[in-house]
Structure 1
Amino acid sequence: MSIKWYFRNLKNVEGNIFVVSLSVADLVVAVYPYPLILSAIFHNGWTMGNVHCQISGFLMGLSVIGSIFNITAIAINRYCYICHSLRYDKLFNLKNTCCYLCLTWVLTVVAIVPNFFVGSLQYDPRIYSCTFAQTVSTSYTITVVVVHFIVPLSVVTFCYLRIWILVIQVKHRVRQDCKQKLRAADIRNFLTMFVVFVLFAVCWGPLNFIGLAVSINPSKVQPHIPEWLFVLSYFMAYFNSCLNAVIYGLLNQNFRKEYKRILLTLWTPRLLFIDVSKGGTEGMKSKHSPAITTNNNHAEIHL
């Protein structure tokens, strides 16, 4: 692998940190809450006690709010990377990016903690899970929907709208004096994360708007919401956690290659041993000819 290729692919490594963080947020629900939901479905009720219910609800909230906050951070990162590329290196160096990432997760935890004081993490038999109860406090539910959903989505919408405007201007050569250079890889990455944002909004929008409507006028709105609509909105939200991996596989060529390799390895396990043996052979060859490797690397650096 050439050094030139290596650095070209790691050009926006700071932005990719947030993508990894988003993946972690998606995986949180699969580790603990989802197995307990399956257990509740099989037993037709919650049998794990209140402690597990609170932990499950906390991790569910950690995943949801962590996802939307990371999507917001990704949108801001892409906005700075494409629309303010001259200042990007100062804003998103590795140290600052790690601080932004820590801040994202600290805000996520801070956003969930009030649920324990309000008592809004409860078991809902309609969806077999311990989750945020929208009817516990009207004012708190409105605050949750606004702060955890509407405000982040407004920020993301602004960022992606500005990116779309710049892309259209550059494409039609409206801004010929523009110093920003848009690479095809940047546009593909932007489109991938834009689709992630749209699907998140579509999957979580119904549940949040139902909660907002119920909170504004509980006595009139709640009796008119059919149970099947409430359950459907919840399972749409749950389904979002597994969509991102599918999006990456469909829209990113590198992910498609790795998915194919993993599937082929699972189908024919002997390919795994072949890859390992090839890696070992190549490693031995590179050790026997250090001079050649060094020369090749210098040739790539000076290209």
Structure 2
Amino acid sequence: MELNFGDELSQAAVVVFTTIVIILLICGIPSNTLFLWTLLKIKRLRIIHNAFVGNLAVSDFLITTYLLPFNLVSLLNKEAKIPDFLCQINGIFAHIVFSSSVISVSTIAVHRYFKICHYKLCLRIYTKTIACAVIASVWIIGILFAVPLIWMENSLIFDPTVQMCIFNRYVSQTYSIVYLFACLFTPVSVTMICYYKIYAYVIRHKRQLLTWNNGIGQTRFRNDVRSTKSTFVVFVVYLVLYSLFGVLATFFDKHSQVATEIHSTSIYMAYANSCVNAFIYGFMNKDVLKAYKEALRCRRSRKIKNINILTQDGTSTQPSIFQTKSSNIKETESPKCKTSVVQNPSQKPNSMITSI
């Protein structure tokens, strides 16, 4: 079954939306791939907060790499139509991914709140096991809300304006209200409350935090605030790009009441949200940008750094560079002296664990 909007997309609208989809694919796939690759490759980024951020990146990656190409193929060929069975699968898949995406934004905000406002409590609550359970719960909730669509008649229908199967939010008013409340309004409300409490806490304790004598504590707090700013911007961009879709879903009870171009614009704005998060993290957090550069390096530098060896008698020696042969490497070691390796003062220390 197809949706009836009265008019199909004009040729000019098709050209515009095709261009938009191509841009989203060019920007979205490499950026999300780089972001996930960076989280996996750079060890200092493997922390609990980044696990929640990475979960959101997985949703964005699936949207840009799987759903968007179907739109592009259909826009380039109006006569193309995917089989009904695949259309249903794509509709359910899109429903799960978009639901998990908005809930993931909420889990990031909740963790940020505990990390900044209740740091010691956060260390006890957010263990690796709890973090994995939360991430799994995000996807389980998305799947549970997608299961009824299998038995609801006309719940997933082909939308020619976006050339894909989408959730028919007008087929059941009860289900739509429950879904919007559980997977949209509640996560968004929780996220807004968390960021407001974080802002109030930082303003209220700003002078106290600046008087800390613990330099490590100050550095940790500054990193947490910087990463919170980037996740807050991600949330604001999410609200802006999903606002039109939310208005149409909430205040219009029939597709015929919405202009075709406006409906399509709301869908592609939602797609655009999945392509900008990796850029926001890199632009607002210099540590993330540095991690991007490290992840893109093909191999590590083999430059030999200067080291000093301190012996028991306090003397300092500068070792010579060993010349190695392909079949034999000779090493000398004195059993009478205890050695320790000290880095050259000019060498920069390893950077702290970074949260995105």
TM-score normalised by L of structure 1: 0.78
User: Which residue in 1 is equivalent to 2:184?
Assistant: 149
* Equivalent of residue 202 in structure 2, options 167, 180, 187: 167
Q: Do the aligned partners of 2:155 and 2:168 also contact (CA within 8 Å) in 1? A: yes
* Equivalent of residue 96 in structure 1, options 97, 110, 130: 130
Q: Deviations over 1:33-54 (max 9, x none)?
A: 2111111112214422012112
Percent identity between the two aligned chains: 26
User: Which residue in 2 is equivalent to 1:205?
Assistant: 243
Counterpart amino acid of residue 144 in structure 2: V
CA–CA separation in structure 1 for the residues paired with 2:221 and 2:251:
43
Report whether the alignment pairs 1:127 with 2:157: no
Which structure 2 residues correspond to residues 129-278 of structure 1 after superposition, within 5 A? 129-171=164-206, 173=208, 183-215=221-253, 218=254, 223-259=256-292, 276=299, 278=301
Q: Do the aligned partners of 1:33 and 1:57 also contact (CA within 8 Å) in 2? A: no
Report whether the alignment pairs 1:30 with 2:64: yes
Counterpart amino acid of residue 249 in structure 1: G
Q: Do the aligned partners of 1:28 and 1:59 also contact (CA within 8 Å) in 2? A: no
CA–CA separation in structure 2 for the residues paired with 1:129 and 1:207:
16
Q: Deviations over 1:103-132 (max 9, x none)?
A: 122112112222222242221011112111
Aligned pair in 2 of structure 1 residues 55, 280: CA closer, same or farther (>3 Å)? Answer: farther
Residues 186-195 or 116-125, more deviating: 116-125
CA–CA separation in structure 1 for the residues paired with 2:63 and 2:124:
35
Aligned pair in 2 of structure 1 residues 279, 66: CA closer, same or farther (>3 Å)? Answer: farther
Secondary structure, in 3 states, of the residue corresponding to 2:157? Answer: strand
User: Which residue in 1 is equivalent to 2:100?
Assistant: 66
In the TM superposition, residue 13 of structure 1 has moved relative to its aligned partner by 1.1
User: Which residue in 2 is equivalent to 1:18?
Assistant: 52
In the TM superposition, residue 161 of structure 1 has moved relative to its aligned partner by 0.8
Secondary structure, in 3 states, of the residue corresponding to 1:278? Answer: coil
CA–CA separation in structure 2 for the residues paired with 1:288 and 1:54:
67
User: Which residue in 2 is equivalent to 1:43?
Assistant: 77
Q: Do the aligned partners of 1:78 and 1:190 also contact (CA within 8 Å) in 2? A: yes
CA–CA separation in structure 2 for the residues paired with 1:279 and 1:115:
56
Aligned pair in 2 of structure 1 residues 25, 296: CA closer, same or farther (>3 Å)? Answer: farther
Structure with more contact order per residue of length (Cα contacts < 8 Å, sep ≥ 6): 2
Q: Do the aligned partners of 1:135 and 1:141 also contact (CA within 8 Å) in 2? A: yes
CA–CA separation in structure 2 for the residues paired with 1:293 and 1:131:
67
Secondary structure, in 3 states, of the residue corresponding to 1:44? Answer: coil
Aligned pair in 2 of structure 1 residues 50, 294: CA closer, same or farther (>3 Å)? Answer: farther
Aligned pair in 2 of structure 1 residues 134, 45: CA closer, same or farther (>3 Å)? Answer: farther
Compare CA radii of gyration and give the structure with the larger one: 2
In the TM superposition, residue 207 of structure 1 has moved relative to its aligned partner by 0.6
Secondary structure, in 3 states, of the residue corresponding to 1:236? Answer: helix
CA–CA separation in structure 1 for the residues paired with 2:304 and 2:287:
24
Secondary structure, in 3 states, of the residue corresponding to 1:130? Answer: strand
Q: Which has the higher helix share?
A: 1
In the TM superposition, residue 246 of structure 1 has moved relative to its aligned partner by 1.2
Q: Do the aligned partners of 2:117 and 2:201 also contact (CA within 8 Å) in 1? A: yes
Report whether the alignment pairs 1:117 with 2:151: yes
User: Which residue in 2 is equivalent to 1:79?
Assistant: 113
CA–CA separation in structure 2 for the residues paired with 1:288 and 1:31:
52
CA–CA separation in structure 2 for the residues paired with 1:209 and 1:165:
29
